Structure 1
């Protein structure tokens, strides 16, 4: 009994109710940060310790190997180490290895790690395009169909009903799907969806196998139940048979995988299916400060037609923290520079870089933040995706641009020339609807926008100059292989948390994404924002920019989701000059925004921040010093065999020549000069300023 009591210590009343609920159907509606993993592991351990079930009779499933591993570790610590905690696919694979030889009188077919090659063969067989993006998206459509229990012959009608916008016409996708299945079966191979399909079929069609399985496993737990798809629910039903010893845990407000077939309907409808079920709502948020929790409630509270199972209202349990902040920037470069500056300040105040994240809607947005962090010598890691310049489509594009630059016969209009080259590697005038083709398009259009930015800042810039700029950026943006700031998409951030979170690029067309053209799709985008907000423990900043780059118009507007959130009177909610006046007032009152060293006004533009003064304020530039700095930089770049840009940018040298720092403290006060560059170049630069060399 003492062990059972210890398992209940430290639980709040709702968690305790979930842990001690009797065997049978239990539904735990668990909001973000409410301790759901603690609750379900303590429930399993409590049932085991009371002798209500043996550890080997419990099967707990979740959606990632990381989550399953965490669950196993916690269960071992609670004295329930024999419990099976696995992903759906790992559990099915384990079961198939045991039952397949007995049912089919042969060894289990080989597991297909990657279906790309077979899908390409199928595409070729039916006369469909075999370019990589089409094949990847066709493979994703096959996965959606199989996880939705849709056969090849039923795909066309189902795709139309679901509003799928795949890479092929529905009829041809169905032909490709059929050809893929034929090729796979002929080779006696299984893909990951087959693991679930086959174990469900075996348990359904072979009563002796089902009886043996259910004699082994008597109690089931499903985490993240809002993310199950029809195929996973079919497997769960096959596991259960006619029993109801099932505990499910989920939060319909965090359903963000509908495009892959996930649906919260089984979570929301759990009490209808099991009228005697115990339902517990976990709404005490132990992750985030009350300020972050209040914003999360506002975000999700604005959702339309929320079913009863989604109406969780979180209550923050941590001590108070800073209010979430908002910022509007003129362009994306300024937004990234400000995020980088604030990250540096958080780090200086003791927040570990590993506890800071920059989250965005699409992977192509990472480039600006990779560059800004690299310029500030802040290490980072890209989660759930490659670094911008390492992406396949970007490397292909750069190869094509190098070839074109060698001839440089595409005319003086740099953006038009870049578009022309990138059309050859797949850039289209209009963005694809989604999938990998959309990700590729976002990366390519980012290269066009870089060309537009260069054209506005460098007179007569042509393809060779543009390619040189790309090469310098690519070479400079390899951070040290150490733990650092996390850059991730909102989807990749699911299930993670950090002390400080920057939600960036929150503009219409990006969040909600441009192709979210139905009410349901827009609401899923809102849930994405909710997931992003609830990743933050203490510090949270939401920002957007009015243009991709400076020097042109400002066509963007902030996301529709932000309008009810930004407080009245906040500078980010004000237009034009009013916003600037408010920023200056906040700076005068002690804001942490950078100030002009001449007039004391707030700085926002990248160049202004770098120089430490407003563009209109008088400069005190030492032209002779600037010339000596540039000559020294060229010499050092040749010695190191790197572009001059990697040593110091022109803007940094200009700032040095204006501010003429006399010691290391003053030198690192210049934006873009961190500890590494101080170690490498600080003595030389200070000697040049003093006139010693």
Structure 2
């Protein structure tokens, strides 16, 4: 057996049939619908290694996108474990990191220097406060934070200050429109971009300069994206521009896990993937390795009521497990007393505090 064949056999070892299908998919768009606990990170990393081992892409021709720096580091470590040092040539990073890297080379086309400053949220809100002061806006009525949230939402939807101005209606929106315009001028004057600008300007440079779009489109022969259900419109557009030549885009996501609409995530990006990419292959990862069947049955039942969804049915070989207990209590104080009582009971019976997890919706709880 050739060395390459051995590597591929090792990559596929231990994968279930849908996982194997996702890893070995050839060229063209791919939507991997991955239920919770279905091994999606393993599938992504093994697919990257498969693309490299089968000469579909050299290491530096693969772009893998995650949503957090921690997830990016985990993916880099796993891929390096499969491919060795050559994995270091890959772009494995967050959307914002990839866009920043692109803009360090291309920003002069948009009027910035390559040494532009990236403003974090605190920097951005300080600048916005100065803009609001210059406009004579009462900071108690319209806080920099509230105005910044509106501008951030507009940028995630690729609406510049002029486009936002056309949509304004309320007095607050009129104020935001004026602040947005001044804020953008000040950012450029300071040779600075805020966090949202990294996406917006990366889209701008690909839209305005076809030669840049073609160069990056050719450079990245395969693009892979994790947590696709959490992408916003700017991220969707950036990926669309990068894949105009080859459409070798593999996305992993689960519409049932979309919880970031308040940050601009657009669930339609995953729900309409097959409309955008007509030749897309769709693979469902439904075997769960984490939970009991009792928990999955409850999850399946709840998810079945979602109005818009990609149907999946999660299952496991882990067995039925313990029944789920539901307790309805009068108020939050009764809830707290009940939880403390259950913890005490567990410890009294010889259990450890480290075996207990308490989840809640908001920190205020």
- Report the TM-score when normalising by structure 1: 0.49
- Is residue 124 of structure 2 the alignment partner of residue 121 of structure 1? no
Alignment of 1:143 onto 2:143:
no
Task: Output aligned runs, 1:128-527, within 5 Å.
Answer: 128-131=137-140, 134-155=143-164, 158=167, 169-304=172-307, 306-307=308-309, 310-346=310-346, 353=354, 356-365=356-365
Give the match's secondary structure for 2:284: strand
| Structure 1 residue 206: Cα displacement | 2.4
Cα distance in 2 for partners of 1:326, 1:349 equals 24
Structure 2: how far apart are the matches of 1:337 and 1:132?
Answer: 40
Indicate the SS of the match to 2:120. coil
SS at match of 1:363: coil
1:133–1:319 distance in 2 versus 1, CA, 3 Å: farther
Structure 2: any 5+ residue segments left out of the alignment?
none
CA-CA distance at 1:100 after TM superposition: 2.7
**Which one of the candidate residues 22, 38, 42 is aligned to 1:34?**
38
Counterparts of 1:312 and 1:127 in 2: how far apart (Å)?
53
Comparing 212-221 with 247-256, greater Cα deviation is found at 212-221
State the alpha-carbon separation in 1 of the partners of residues 243 and 134 from structure 2. Answer: 41
Q: How does 1:472-621 map to 2 (within 5 A)?
A: none
Q: What is residue 85 of structure 1 aligned with on the other side?
A: 92
Name the residue aligned to 1:96.
103
Structure 1's 277 and 107: CA in aligned 2 closer, same or farther, altered over 3 A? closer
CA contact 1:101–1:108 (8 Å) conserved in 2: no
Displacement, 1:361? 2.5
Seen in structure 2, the aligned counterparts of structure 1 residues 155 and 207 have a Cα distance that, compared at 3 Å, is: closer
Q: Is the aligned partner of 1:45 residue 2:49?
A: yes
Change (3 A) 1:271 1:113: same
Task: Report the alpha carbon displacement of residue 330 of structure 1 after superposing the two structures with TM.
Answer: 3.4
Deviations 1:488-546 (A, max 9, x none): xxxxxxxxxxxxxxxxxxxxxxxxxxxxxxxxxxxxxxxxxxxxxxxxxxxxxxxxxxx
Map of 1:10 onto structure 2: 14
Q: Distance in 2 between matches of 1:64 and 1:357?
A: 23
2:66 paired residue number: 62
| Post-superposition CA distance 1:635-684 (Å, at most 9, x none) | xxxxxxxxxxxxxxxxxxxxxxxxxxxxxxxxxxxxxxxxxxxxxxxxxx
Alpha-carbon distance between aligned partners in 1 of 2:263 and 2:51, rounded to the nearest angstrom: 34
User: Within 1, Cα distance between the matches of 2:70 and 2:165?
Assistant: 36
Shift of the 8–231 alpha-carbon distance from structure 1 to 2, 3 Å rule, reads same
Aligned equivalents of 1:99 and 1:357: distance in 2?
47
SS at match of 1:280: strand
Deviations 1:184-233 (A, max 9, x none): 22222110111112222222222333333233221100111111111111
Higher relative contact order (CA 8 A, sep 6+): 2
Alpha-carbon separation, structure 2, partners of 1:11 and 1:47: 16
Cα deviation code 1:341-382 (max 9, x no counterpart):
3235556655662x64322223211xxxxxxxxxxxxxxxxx
1:409 matched residue in structure 2:
none
How many aligned positions are there?
A: 355
- Structure 1 gaps of 5+ residues are 161-165, 366-693
SS of 2:143's partner is helix
Q: 1: CA distance between counterparts of 2:168 and 2:340?
A: 43
Matched, 1:107 2:114: yes
Cα distance, 1:63 vs structure 2:
1.1
Query: Per the alignment, in what secondary structure is the counterpart of residue 15 of structure 2?
Result: coil
Q: Distance in 1 between matches of 2:158 and 2:200?
A: 9
Structure 1 segments of 4+ aligned residues over 4 angstroms from their partners: 101-105, 156-160, 344-352
Q: CA deviation at 1:129?
A: 3.0
1:29 Cα deviation from its structure 2 partner:
0.9
Using the alignment, how far apart are the partners of 2:142 and 2:291 within structure 1? Answer: 39
The secondary structure found in structure 2 opposite 1:316 is: coil
Is the Cα–Cα contact under 8 Å of residues 294 and 324 in structure 2 kept in the other structure?
yes
Distance 1:311 1:350, change over 3 A: same
> Hey, what's the Cα distance between the residues in 1 that align with 2:189 and 2:53?
49
Q: Output one character per residue of 1:607-637: Cα deviation in whole Å (capped at 9) or x when no partner.
A: xxxxxxxxxxxxxxxxxxxxxxxxxxxxxxx
Q: CA deviation at 1:28?
A: 0.4
Shift in alpha-carbon separation, 1:315–1:185, aligned structure 2, 3 A: same
Larger Rg: 1
Indicate how the Cα distance of structure 1 residues 346 and 37 shifts in structure 2: closer, same or farther if over 3 A, else same. Answer: farther
**For 2:268 and 2:328, how far apart are their aligned partners in 1?**
38
TM-score, normalised to structure 2, is 0.89
